[in-house]
Structure 1
């Protein structure tokens, strides 16, 4: 059992999802704002956004009252049915596309996990067996029409080694009793993970570089963290 991802007992009609997707492909898809983790092959179409704007895919806040359906969702009968059918407050909803042969490099999205009260759900619309998804270094495959939770606080990355574009419906939701029941009744449990240096992003391979970068910041907090990491590194290498 892992808390990096969890399959929920919800399934959706793959053909109807793909029919709605086909109608939306000609619209202006927006390159993902996190340019450091992709080379232009990752883009999105907003279905629910702040004030219903079609030119923004950023999840800038988690207040559901700020979010409205965009015209793209209003034009998509089945996608609208899927989103509105969730018995919880929906923040944002986006179609996320990763082009064939492209990748999303390892990164994290903070404050998006079940324990924090806001979950990110993935409903694959178009995918392939050659799409590799790693969440906290654990491989998982999400199939079309399924509904999966991913703990976006963990490092995650995707490689699309196929010849088709991968498209997911990605929905951010506020945890309530209904959603909590879906998790608990399907065996979800929090996994307590202790990292060697306190973070999954700090490893034996890069810790000295991290310490050096912290020292360069010349700030009390950074120096204290550098000293703590140095002590941990020395402890693990004293033999």
Structure 2
């Protein structure tokens, strides 16, 4: 599917990524809050969060909250350099660690496609050949130091069948003119994004489940629209 995932034209230093990761792994990572979506161990720590706390790992604001850098980010100069190189506003920024023999079940997120004005970037810091990441049922091979966009409105899942942790730096960014120019260079189809997205029945039902768990006014409004089509 067009625009499902795209590799960005950046390659970051594996050595410097690991140096900052070492700073972060001296702190406690919190188990991911969506316990129904994974098997094994999936945990996170925040570099930017709703209240500036590294252990506040929620990725979405429910209203007037503003995201803030956490003190941990100040101790990670290379992560900060990478983040600042994206010339757009950022919301949640986290490290997510999927432990060996763990799986993130197939699911869909909400408002995480470029067409929504918010986009998620993945930068692998640690991975292995036995990690399998699928977006819209297609495997995406992400290597250390690479930079990827994925449309996480689409079904996606991850399996870490290896013996090492799989750790990504994940940024939620706000679309702007700079990002539009960037995405145009990597083949993003701006005409395709204008077409209405048609979800199959299973995907629609999974989206409804996710939105029900969010239980916000915005999610309730979207639920009404989805249910009218299901």
* Band the TM-score falls in, shorter-chain normalisation: 0.7 to 0.9
Q: CA deviation at 1:60?
A: 2.6
Evaluate the alpha carbon distance shift between residue 91 and residue 162 of structure 1 in structure 2; reply closer, same or farther with a 3 A threshold.
same
Does structure 2 retain, via aligned residues, the 8 Å contact 1:107–1:155?
yes
Q: Secondary structure at the match of 1:149?
A: strand
- 1:95 and 2:95 correspond: yes
Cα distance in 2 between the residues matched to 1:16 and 1:145: 10
Q: How does 1:208-223 map to 2 (within 5 A)?
A: none
Q: How does 1:129-208 map to 2 (within 5 A)?
A: 129-189=129-189, 190=192, 198-199=200-201, 201=203
Q: Secondary structure at the match of 1:11?
A: coil
Does structure 2 retain, via aligned residues, the 8 Å contact 1:99–1:164?
yes
Q: CA deviation at 1:61?
A: 1.8
Q: Which residue of 2 aligns with 1:4?
A: 4
Evaluate the alpha carbon distance shift between residue 67 and residue 171 of structure 1 in structure 2; reply closer, same or farther with a 3 A threshold.
same
Does structure 2 retain, via aligned residues, the 8 Å contact 1:119–1:172?
yes
Q: Secondary structure at the match of 2:182?
A: helix
Evaluate the alpha carbon distance shift between residue 193 and residue 165 of structure 1 in structure 2; reply closer, same or farther with a 3 A threshold.
farther
Does structure 2 retain, via aligned residues, the 8 Å contact 1:155–1:200?
no
Q: Which residue of 1 aligns with 2:50?
A: 50
Q: Which residue of 2 aligns with 1:206?
A: none
Does structure 2 retain, via aligned residues, the 8 Å contact 1:48–1:68?
yes
Cα distance in 1 between the residues matched to 2:62 and 2:173: 9
Does structure 2 retain, via aligned residues, the 8 Å contact 1:64–1:89?
no
- 1:127 and 2:130 correspond: no
Q: Which residue of 1 aligns with 2:108?
A: 108
Does structure 2 retain, via aligned residues, the 8 Å contact 1:112–1:152?
yes
TM-score computed with the length of structure 2 as normaliser: 0.82
Q: Which residue of 1 aligns with 2:218?
A: none
Cα distance in 1 between the residues matched to 2:69 and 2:62: 15
Cα distance in 1 between the residues matched to 2:37 and 2:78: 31
Instruction: Give a deviation string over 1:17-49, Cα, whole Å, max 9, x none.
Output: 011111211211011111001134111010000
Cα distance in 1 between the residues matched to 2:202 and 2:150: 16
Q: Which residue of 1 aligns with 2:84?
A: 84
Measured on the aligned residues, the alpha-carbon RMSD in Å equals 2.7
Q: Which residue of 1 aligns with 2:25?
A: 25
Does structure 2 retain, via aligned residues, the 8 Å contact 1:9–1:186?
yes
Cα distance in 1 between the residues matched to 2:138 and 2:108: 14
Cα distance in 1 between the residues matched to 2:127 and 2:143: 7
Larger Cα-atom Rg: 1
List runs of 5+ in structure 1 lacking aligned partners. 204-220, 230-239
Instruction: Give a deviation string over 1:126-173, Cα, whole Å, max 9, x none.
Output: 111210011111111111111100101011100001111000000000
Q: Secondary structure at the match of 2:203?
A: coil
